[in-house]
């Protein structure tokens, strides 16, 4: 019955992780993921688990739920480790991209797909919470003082565009700069309007 979504236990784990710190998320998922990886690749279980824990946590939940997806990811990680043993990691990753016939890593594409899976059965409020949890720390690094306001503005965008911002630091930086520009412009207009209102009010009193 859970073939098109997560099991109740996985959904419960996902909801619990929404309020966890990054370290807690990594620990909890690592404890569940390591035994499964060890069954597939005993000799490299620790390294592969560490690599998989760098994925978005929603994708790790997906791997815990679907053995075939986990096997595919483990095989991909082993390919990178095998290549890295002979060449620098950057070269190995580049070769992996070339073999796949594209210039983009599979991780962001997979993340977007699996985030959509995670959001598929979410209510609008849950979706906003999940996306906000992922977006806020990234915005905070760029604009700490206005992180809450900017994140709120970005959450008004469509889901697809928000997922793109989560994947692309360049796009996020550009959009945050635009949001800051709007906030400053709005603040300036409000200040001008307030000043004009005070001036007009004083004129009426003189009259």
Higher pLDDT, 205 or 141: 141
Kindly tell me if the per-residue pLDDT of 160 is higher than 70.
yes
The string of pLDDT tens digits covering residues 106-152 is 444 345 555 665 666 667 888 888 888 888 999 999 989 889 999 99
Q: Do domains 1-102 and 122-207 have the same CATH topology?
A: yes
Question: What's the whole-model pTM score?
Answer: 0.42
20-67 pLDDT tens trace:
788 888 898 999 999 999 999 998 898 888 888 888 888 888 888 889
Task: Give the contacts of 93 (CB within 8 A, at least 6 positions apart).
Answer: 80, 105
Pick the CATH number of 1-102 from 1.20.190.20, 1.25.10.10, 1.20.1250.20, 1.10.1900.10: 1.10.1900.10
Give the integer Cα–Cα distance in Å for 142 and 147. 8
**Hunting for tokens 């082993």 — which residue is that?**
78
Q: Where are the domains of the chain?
A: 1-102, 122-207
Angle at 45 between CA 40 and CA 46, to 5 degrees: 165
Q: Give CATH superfamily name and number for 122-207.
A: c-terminal domain of poly(a) binding protein (1.10.1900.10)
Q: How far apart are CA 71 and CA 168, in angstroms?
A: 27
Q: Is the pLDDT of residue 86 over 50?
A: no
User: Helix or strand or coil: residue 26?
Assistant: helix
Q: Enumerate residues 6+ apart whose C-beta is below 8 A from 207.
A: none
Scanning 41-168, the segments in alpha helix (DSSP H) are 45-52, 57-65, 67-86, 89-99, 106-120, 124-142, 147-154, 159-167
Q: Which residue carries 């710190």 as its tokens?
A: 21
Give me the long-range contacts of 185-190 (CB less than 8 A, separation at least 24).
none
């Amino acid at each position: 019955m859970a073939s098109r979504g997560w099991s109740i236990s996985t959904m419960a784990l996902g909801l619990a992780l929404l309020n966890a710190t990054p370290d807690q998320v990594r620990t909890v998922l690592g404890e569940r993921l390591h035994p499964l990886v060890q069954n597939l690749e005993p000799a490299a279980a620790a390294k592969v688990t560490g690599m998989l824990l760098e994925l978005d946590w929603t994708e790790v939940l997906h791997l815990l739920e679907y053995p075939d997806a986990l096997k595919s990811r483990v095989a991909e990680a082993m390919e990178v480790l095998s290549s890295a043993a002979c060449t620098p990691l950057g070269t190995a990753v580049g070769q992996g991209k070339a073999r796949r016939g594209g210039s983009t890593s599979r991780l962001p594409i997979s993340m977007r797909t699996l985030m959509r899976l995670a959001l598929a059965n979410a209510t609008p409020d849950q979706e906003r919470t999940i996306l906000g949890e992922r977006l806020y720390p990234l915005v905070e690094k760029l604009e700490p003082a206005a992180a809450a306001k900017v994140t709120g503005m970005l959450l008004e965008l469509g889901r697809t565009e928000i997922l793109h911002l989560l994947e692309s630091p360049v796009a996020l930086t550009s959009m945050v700069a635009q949001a800051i520009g709007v906030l400053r412009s709005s603040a300036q207009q409000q200040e001008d309007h307030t000043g004009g209102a005070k001036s007009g009010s004083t004129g009426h009193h003189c009259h």
